[in-house]
Amino acid sequence: MDTSLLWEIIEILYLNENEPMTVLDLKRELDPGRDRSITKRDINRVLYYKRGTVFQTCGNSPGTSKPLWNLTSETYHFMDVLYQEKSAFDPESVDKTELFCVSCGDLKITSYCENPNCKENPVPIGATAVPGDITGGEGKSILKLFGYYAGQGSSKEEREFAIQEALETILWILPGAKNEDYVKSFGEPKSKTRCHRLIELLQGFNVPNYLNSREEDIEYIMKICSTYEDSTHD
Ligand SMILES: [Zn+2]
């Protein structure tokens, strides 16, 4: 994997406001003087290798079958943060080696490698990494992480699915993260602590319209939790 070419392509797309480009567009940007002997094949290799994680296709160039590429929203956001942080510095001085996993070469959207097949990925198998912005409070709860939504148009099945995930998932956080205490307060999966904390959370939702669904959901948690053995985790 040619990480310097990967990096150049990411920067071109980012600095062009993530306008979708064909491989030929990229080639023109990368090698305007045609003296770098970068081939379309080289570019395609990078694009397809990182398709879905770093790059995505978004239709074809009008009137042709040539795919248009741009950055995934995660990558675009990552670049935004990077550029804001580094705006005071010369972009050339950014140490790009830190951005890629030393083992698998994947772009690290967070501070660690998220590739599920990479030995550098610190998240244990079966665990869910809790991002640093899940700190409790409105719109930032653990339930949100599992897609819980109780507003208009929410279905009981969807809410119950999210709740079950929240009850039974191993939560992992980057050691020393700011939300460590919040996440740890949810205890082990299928524990009494987890049950109590999720009920507390629902009780705290200060939205009277959704009272019915909230009561239903609390009942659902109690029903599920009664099937857990008396936990040895707590
Ligand atoms: Zn890796």
Q: Is the pLDDT of residue 90 over 80?
A: no
Query: Confidence class of residue 24 from pLDDT cuts 50, 70 and 90?
Result: very high
Q: How far is the CA of 229 from the centre of ligand 1 (A)?
A: 37
d(CA 139, CA 146): 12
Q: How far is the CA of 42 from the centre of ligand 1 (A)?
A: 22
Domains and CATH numbers, the chain: 1-118 (1.10.10.10), 127-227 (no CATH)
Q: How far is the CA of 176 from the centre of ligand 1 (A)?
A: 21
Per-residue pLDDT reduced to its tens digit, 41-86? 899 988 988 888 889 999 888 888 889 999 999 899 888 888 887 6
pLDDT of residue 56: 93
pLDDT of residue 208: 58
Q: How far is the CA of 150 from the centre of ligand 1 (A)?
A: 36
Q: How far is the CA of 164 from the centre of ligand 1 (A)?
A: 30
Q: How far is the CA of 118 from the centre of ligand 1 (A)?
A: 5
pLDDT of residue 126: 83
Q: How far is the CA of 122 from the centre of ligand 1 (A)?
A: 10
Q: Contact 71/55 with Cβ under 8 angstroms?
A: yes
pTM for the model? 0.60
Q: How far is the CA of 22 from the centre of ligand 1 (A)?
A: 28
pLDDT averaged over the chain? 85
Per-residue pLDDT reduced to its tens digit, 152-205? 778 888 899 899 999 999 999 988 888 999 999 999 999 999 999 999 999 887
Closest by CA position to 136, among listed 170, 183, 175: 183
Q: Is the pLDDT of residue 231 over 50?
A: no
Q: How far is the CA of 123 from the centre of ligand 1 (A)?
A: 11
Q: Contact 102/136 with Cβ under 8 angstroms?
A: no
* Centroid of chain to Cα 10: 18
